[in-house]
């Protein structure tokens, strides 16, 4: 049973899938992550869910990881058939689904992790004070960049004329740009912001915006044909994603250690291991505080259609999408129970007793 035709895959990815397919218990499919660096903050849904075998447990399949430049690129990978699903920022997902009717959004998360931030020592206190300044972001294909444009628009400025934008990546590169004054602010989200704050040795301060409190600002997107043909698998991989968050939350230390074993290049080499571990755990906790939480009716990945539509309307008003999104057409919530209604108490108990493989 195959979802993805090899001729539609990127050549290198197709070769990887074909080379490993014979050893799989089921089809080897791809999760396109929006984190290009596979940073430790992405550990629950990158390294951890695969170490635990959650896709096999819930969907009876093996999955592979594919890093992309951001949520827009990841959604495009799903549209092209190069990935089964992506979890990313809602602005990017809505744009992708509007441009390609083959895509559908199947989950919505309760909080918004995107922000425009400045170093705490910066004299800038408001969005309006960014007029004439340069704002950095991970890339022009990131959902954080799109959200940053929305904040600028909502603050009464023109994102095309009143400010400039500069792609500065994440981590050390972004830190250097802020520290050196190349950019005055950073349009980011909780994961890279936590890294930057540690590297800067100074916290980042979020600029006030009513958009900071928008719910349903991230979710999962899949192809409609896969959703219709393989509902058990689509629902299963959605459940695996949210279970990985719940599992990581009570045991962030072992989650980090597992991530380092999976991606050894993520272990900092310029500081003592104890400090590196403490920093990584702190960054992961920051991330989990915003995403390892249930949505409406206590169901992970679920928000009411009214909530999703309200947020989509705000993104439309800010000029991020050319046409008003009809979320009833762009999304399908048939998987809400399969995605996010599970025994969290038993899962958390399992997590607390779990040790990362040596």
Q: What pLDDT score does 26 carry?
A: 34
Instruction: Assess whether pLDDT exceeds 90 at residue 176.
Output: yes
Burial status of residue 8 (CB atoms within 10 A of its CB: 0-12, 13-18, 19 or more): exposed
Q: Is residue 152 part of a domain?
A: yes
pLDDT tens digits, one per residue of 127-157: 999 999 999 999 998 889 999 999 999 999 9
State whether residue 219 is helix, strand or coil.
strand
Asked whether 77 and 66 are in contact (CB, 8 A), the reply is yes
Which of 154, 178, 213 lies at the terminal end of a domain, its last residue? 213
Task: Judge whether 358 lies within some domain.
Answer: no
C-beta atoms surrounding 141 within 10 Å: 21
Instruction: Please name the helix (run of DSSP H) or strand (run of DSSP E) that holds residue 246, with its range, or none.
Output: helix 231-248
Please report the beta strands in 138-184, taking only residues with DSSP state E, as ranges in sequence order.
Answer: 164-167
pLDDT at res. 28: 40
Evaluate whether residue 1 is within a structural domain: no
End-to-end CA distance of the chain: 34
* Confidence check: pLDDT of 180 > 70: yes
- Residue 357 is assigned to a structural domain of this protein: no
The pLDDT of residue 321 is 86
From 213, 236, 259, give the residue that closes a domain. Answer: 213
Rounded average pLDDT over 196-203: 93
Decide if 320 is inside a domain: yes
Residues 282 and 207 in one domain: no
Are residue 296 and residue 187 in the same domain, yes or no?
no
pLDDT of the residue at 17? 35
How many angstroms separate the CA atoms of 22 and 276, rounded?
39
pLDDT in tens, 2-38: 333 323 333 333 333 333 333 333 334 899 998 888 8
Please list, in sequence order, all residues whose beta carbon lies within 8 angstroms of the beta carbon of residue 327, skipping any fewer than 6 positions away. 105, 305, 308, 309, 312
Residue 124 pLDDT greater than 50, yes or no:
yes
Residue 301 sits in which domain range?
6-111+217-352
Confidence at 322, pLDDT banded by 50, 70, 90: confident
Are both 336 and 313 inside the same structural domain?
A: yes
In this prediction, residues 176-197 reach a mean pLDDT of: 93
Q: In terms of domains, do 104 and 222 share one?
A: yes
85 and 234: one domain?
A: yes
What average pLDDT is seen over the chain? 90
Which of 20-34, 87-101, 211-225 has the lowest average pLDDT?
20-34
Question: Does residue 96 form part of some domain?
Answer: yes
Confidence at residue 270, expressed as pLDDT on a 0 to 100 scale: 87
* Res 218: pLDDT: 95
pLDDT band with cut points at 50, 70 and 90 for residue 223: very high
Is the pLDDT reported for residue 301 higher than 90? yes
pLDDT of residue 27: 36
CATH number at residue 11: 3.40.190.10
Q: What share of the chain is helix, strand, coil (3-state, %, to 5)?
A: 50, 15, 35
pLDDT of residue 15: 33
DSSP letter at 47 equals I
Would the pLDDT of 1 be above 60? no
Domain end call among 213, 239, 254: 213
How does pLDDT run across 46-62, given as a tens digit for each residue?
999 999 999 999 999 99
pLDDT mean over 92-113: 95
Distance CA 190, CA 200 (A): 15
The pLDDT value given to residue 320: 84
Please give the pLDDT value at position 65. Answer: 93
Please state the domain count of the chain: 2
- Percentage of the chain with pLDDT > 70? 92
Asked if the structure places residue 238 within a domain, the reply is yes
Mean pLDDT of 254-267: 97
């Amino acid at each position: 049973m195959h979802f993805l035709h090899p001729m539609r895959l990127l050549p290198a990815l197709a070769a990887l899938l074909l080379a490993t397919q014979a050893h799989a218990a089921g089809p080897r499919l791809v999760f396109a992550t929006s984190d290009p660096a596979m940073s430790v903050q992405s550990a629950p849904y990158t390294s951890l869910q695969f170490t635990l075998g959650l896709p096999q447990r819930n969907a009876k399949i093996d999955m592979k990881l594919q890093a992309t430049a951001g949520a827009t690129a990841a959604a495009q990978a799903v549209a092209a058939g190069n990935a089964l699903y992506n979890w990313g920022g809602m602005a990017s997902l809505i744009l992708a689904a509007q441009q390609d009717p083959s895509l559908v959004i199947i989950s919505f998360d309760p909080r918004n992790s995107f922000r425009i931030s400045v170093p705490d020592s910066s004299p800038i206190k408001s969005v309006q004070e960014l007029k004439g300044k340069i704002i950095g972001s991970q890339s022009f294909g990131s959902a954080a960049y799109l959200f940053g444009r929305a904040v600028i628009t909502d603050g009464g400025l023109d994102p095309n004329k009143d400010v400039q934008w500069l792609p500065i990546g994440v981590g050390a590169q972004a830190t250097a740009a802020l520290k050196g004054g190349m950019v005055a602010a950073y349009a980011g989200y909780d994961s890279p912001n936590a890294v930057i704050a540690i590297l800067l040795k100074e916290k980042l301060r979020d600029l006030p915006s009513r958009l900071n409190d928008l719910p349903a600002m991230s979710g999962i997107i899949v192809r409609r044909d896969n959703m219709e043909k393989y509902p058990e698998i689509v629902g299963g991989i959605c459940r695996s994603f949210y279970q990985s968050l719940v599992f990581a939350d009570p045991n962030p230390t072992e989650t980090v250690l597992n991530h380092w074993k999976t991606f050894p290049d993520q272990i900092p080499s310029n500081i003592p291991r104890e400090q590196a571990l403490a920093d990584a755990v702190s960054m992961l906790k920051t991330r989990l505080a915003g995403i390892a939480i249930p949505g409406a009716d206590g169901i992970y990945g679920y928000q009411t259609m009214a909530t999703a539509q309200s947020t989509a309307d705000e993104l439309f008003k800010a000029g991020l999408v050319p046409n008003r999104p009809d979320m009833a057409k762009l999304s399908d919530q048939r998987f809400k129970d399969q995605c996010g209604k599970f025994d969290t108490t038993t899962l958390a108990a399992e997590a607390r007793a779990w040790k990362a493989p040596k």
